[in-house]
A = this chain, B = another copy of it.
Amino acid sequence: MSILVVGSVAFDRITTPFGTAERCLGGSATYFSVAASFFSEVNLVAVVGDDFTEQDAAIFKGRKINLEGLQRVRGAKTFFWAGEYGFDLNVAKTRDTQLNVFADFKPNLSEGQRKSDVVFLANIDPDLQMDVLKQCKKPKIVALDTMNYWIASKKDSLTRIFSAVDLIVINEAEVRQYTDEPNLVKGARQILALGAKTLVIKRGEYGVLMITRDAVFAVPAYPLENVFDPTGAGDTFAGGFLGYLASCPGHDDREMRRAIIFGSVLASFTVEKFSLDRLREITIAEVQQRYRAFRTLTHFEDFE
Contact = CB atoms under 8 A, between A and B. Distances in A.
Interface in A212-241: 215-221, 223-227
A170 interface: no
Interface in A135-187: 176, 182-186
B257 A301 contact: yes
A209 B220 contact: yes
A258 interface: yes
Given A203-B206, A258-B303, A291-B303, A298 B182 contact: no
Contact of A219 (B183, B186, B298): B298
A292 interface: yes
A196 interface: no
A74 interface: no
A88 interface: yes
Q: Give how many copies assemble into the complex.
A: 2
7 contacts: A17-B182, A88-B182, A189-B225, A211-B223, A215-B296, A218-B297, A291-B303
Given A219-B300, A288-B303, 5 more contacts: A183-B226, A183-B227, A185-B223, A189-B225, A218-B221
Contacts of A221: 218
A260 interface: yes
Interface in A242-265: 254, 257-258, 260-262
Contacts of A288: 303
A89 interface: yes
A88 B254 CA distance: 32
A48 to B, nearest CB: 34
Contact of A300 (B189, B209, B260, B300): B260
A220 B223 contact: no
B182 A87 contact: yes
A111 interface: no
Contact of A216 (B223, B254, B258): B223
Contact of A185 (B216, B224, B291, B303): B224
A258 B225 contact: no
A225 B186 contact: yes
A54 interface: no
A125 to B, nearest CB: 29
Interface in A271-304: 288, 291-292, 295-303
A203 B224 CA distance: 16
Given A87-B182, A225-B183, A292-B302, A297 B258 contact: no
A216 B297 contact: yes
Contacts of A261: 300
A207 interface: yes
Contact of A298 (B218, B224, B227): B218
Interface in A8-28: 17
Contact of A206 (B87, B206, B257): B206
